Amino acid sequence: MPDIRIYPAAIGHPARQDEGRSATGDGLVFEGISHAYVAANGSTPVLDNVSFRAGPGEVVCVVGPSGCGKSTLLNLAAGLLRPTAGRAYWKGREIHPGVNPDLGMAFQQPGLFPWMTVRRNVAVGLTTRGSSRVEANRRADEILDTVGLSGFGDAYPNQLSGGMAQRVGIARALALRPKLLLLDEPFASVDAFTRLKLQGELKTLLSLDKPTVLFVTHDVSEAILLGNEIVVMSPRPAAVRTIIPIEREDRDRAGPGYARKMTEILKHLGVETNLARD
């Protein structure tokens, strides 16, 4: 079953984005966000007083242990969940459940519609928004070309490798030129080599349209490569452990800055970095 949640913001209730204007400024802002999932057998606290922001055009990566609440944070940013406490803002307006036309999302499972061609999977969001079929297909082919999939427009999702399907998922999110892009471990199910290539491609794509990006990953090297800032979360209920700025020179995997940031982040995550003991 395709996971329709990944679909770029075409679902939801009537928009209420105009309410709750605040002085928090532009970009994506989390202000004292706490969240607990409530079930019949009790409540699971997941996020604990989380505050940080991603300024316009910034890429903020969120790293943290599995199950700490990273996807929950993305769902809050997408307006798919309401926080138990605190507020989230996009462009100075409180995020409420509903349609955010600025939003694009890609999750770990690309969730492509299996009965549609690759081109149609990418184009369908554009036609939903009123583009003509010809124009939507043209844009789909253009973005497929950019993610290295020219020639695959007529293929069906079951004819693609995992890495190619991931690219289609990202292409679909980017086709709408989202101003806010939420990525939840989009490369988690591809092999290490493909992943390195996709990271480079995504970096190029982000430098073209410059959306504000919240990027969840458990891959610290990916976070350093793509992020302007890295938010390191503690185990559940997750609080912000630290926020680490990344400079351009830190992205050179062979350079000293990269090693320093890597060590710093892994320490915050409680991972021993020097195994050269014998």
Q: Position of tokens 């105009």?
A: 18
* Joined tokens for residue 127: 């036609």
**CB closer to ligand ADP out of 60 and 175:** 60
Site for ligand ADP in 64-93 (CB under 6 A): 64, 66-72
**CB closer to Mg ion out of 126 and 214:** 214
Q: Which does residue 72 bind out of Mg ion, ligand ADP, none, counting CB within 5 to 8 angstroms by kind?
A: ligand ADP
**CB closer to ligand ADP out of 67 and 151:** 67
Cα 193 to Cα 134, 140, 161, 190, 206: the distances in Å are 35, 26, 14, 8, 20
Q: Which does residue 236 bind out of ligand ADP, Mg ion, none, counting CB within 5 to 8 angstroms by kind?
A: ligand ADP
- β-partners of residue 182 are 105, 214
DSSP assignment, residue 88?
A: E
Q: Identity (one letter) of the amino acid at 8?
A: P
Give the span between the Cα atoms of 163 and 190, in whole angstroms: 5
Find out whether 100 and 17 touch, Cβ atoms under 8 Å: yes
Q: Which residue is nearest to Mg ion (CB)?
A: 71
Q: Considering only residues 71, 117, 217, 234, which one is a binding residue for Mg ion as defined by CB under 5 A?
A: 71
Q: What is the dihedral of CA 52, 247, 180, 127, to 10 degrees?
A: -160
For position 35 contacting ligand ADP by CB under 6 A, the verdict is no
For position 63 contacting ligand ADP by CB under 6 A, the verdict is no
Report, in Å, the least distance between residue 18 CB and ligand ADP.
28
Binding marks (x or -) toward Mg ion, 29..68, rule CB under 5 A? ----------------------------------------
Short-list 104, 136, 82, CA closest to 211: 104
Q: Which residues bind ligand ADP (CB under 6 A)?
A: 37, 44, 46, 64, 66-72, 236
Q: What is the contact surface with Mg ion in residues (CB under 5 A)?
A: 70-71
